[in-house]
């Protein structure tokens, strides 16, 4: 007994239409006359539209169905299509490679942004603005160093790196105390979780206030309870 498994069959070209459509298209390619091929091809086109109703929302969906028919047949079907036959190269066209920026960064842990900030500081004409900008850059460099190295760093080391990156043009005093900036991003879902807890807490608080208000209103309407005395 011979078993027919999908693993032994040829691969489907467009899997969303299924094996039966693939077999029917292959059968149409074997028909001798073009009249028969045209008639059966129209039937398959109607069936493909039923199997994929979402294509009806696409503009000119009939054109797309005929393109799919040629693709399923591996461009071997010979029929009178109402639309031009798509080119094989246009269907399997490879995307163009993206041109990623390539920067020769001297210190990777500082990044290319620090080098651009240094260039901006060197372009400033006022010495006071240049000094303030240099101090801000040094503070940022310390934060970047602590972020990537997870270790302590001396301010003198940051000041020396700043001087090296600026070719000795941005030099801070040796006794400069840099600010330790902690930049910690919250873990995923913490904002949503805390926001949900705060919202639920506010809702519970409002409900309690409403319930207390209703109880006080009932007490005012009924008045104090009268005690019963036996004679």
Full 3-state SS string of the chain: CCCCCHHHCCCCCCHHHHHHHHHHHHHHHCCCCHHHHHHHHHHHHHHHHHHCHHHHHCCCHHHHHHHHHHHHCCCCCCCCCCCCCCCHHHHCCCCCCCCCCCCCCCCCCCHHHHHHHHHHHHCCCCHHHHHHHHHHHHHHHHHHHHHHHCCCCCHHHHHHHHHHHCCCCCCCCCCCCCCCCCCCCCCCCHHHHHHHHHHHHHHHHHHHHHHHHHHHHHHHHHCCCCCCCCC
How many C-beta atoms lie closer than 10 Å to residue 228's C-beta? 5
Rounded CA-CA distance 10/13 in Å is 9
Question: For residue 38, what pLDDT is reported?
Answer: 92
Question: For residue 228, what pLDDT is reported?
Answer: 47
pLDDT in tens, 149-161: 777 888 898 889 9
In order along its 231 residues, the chain shows pLDDT tens digits of: 677 777 777 888 888 888 889 999 999 999 999 999 999 999 999 888 888 887 777 778 888 889 899 999 888 889 998 888 888 877 777 778 888 777 788 888 888 888 889 999 999 888 888 889 999 999 998 888 888 877 788 889 888 999 998 988 888 888 888 886 655 555 655 555 444 555 555 666 666 665 665 555 545 555 555 554 454
Rounded CA-CA distance 138/170 in Å is 10
Question: For residue 27, what pLDDT is reported?
Answer: 92
Question: For residue 229, what pLDDT is reported?
Answer: 44
Question: For residue 212, what pLDDT is reported?
Answer: 61
Question: For residue 209, what pLDDT is reported?
Answer: 61
Sequence spans of domains, the chain: 7-91, 110-166
Question: For residue 24, what pLDDT is reported?
Answer: 92
Question: For residue 231, what pLDDT is reported?
Answer: 44
């Amino acid at each position: 007994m011979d078993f027919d498994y999908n693993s032994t069959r040829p691969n489907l070209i467009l899997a969303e239409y299924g094996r039966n459509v693939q077999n029917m298209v292959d059968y149409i390619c074997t028909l001798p006359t073009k009249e028969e091929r045209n008639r059966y091809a129209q039937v398959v086109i109607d069936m493909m539209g039923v199997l994929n109703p979402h294509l009806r929302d696409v503009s000119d969906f009939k054109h797309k169905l005929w393109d799919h028919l040629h693709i399923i047949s591996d461009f071997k079907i010979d029929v009178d299509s109402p639309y031009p036959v798509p080119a094989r190269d246009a269907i399997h066209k490879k995307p163009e490679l993206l041109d990623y920026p390539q920067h020769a960064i001297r210190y990777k842990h500082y990044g290319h942004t620090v080098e651009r900030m240094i260039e901006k500081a060197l372009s400033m004409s006022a010495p006071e603005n240049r000094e303030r900008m240099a101090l801000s850059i040094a503070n940022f460099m310390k934060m970047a160093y602590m972020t990537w190295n997870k270790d302590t760093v001396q301010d003198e080391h940051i000041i020396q790196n700043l001087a090296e990156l600026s070719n000795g043009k941005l030099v801070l005093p040796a006794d400069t105390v840099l600010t330790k900036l902690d930049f910690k991003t919250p873990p995923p879902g913490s904002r949503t979780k805390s926001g949900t807890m705060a919202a639920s807490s506010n809702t519970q608080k409002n409900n309690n206030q409403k319930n207390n208000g209703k109880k006080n209103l009932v007490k005012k309407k009924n008045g104090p309870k009268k005690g019963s005395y036996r004679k």
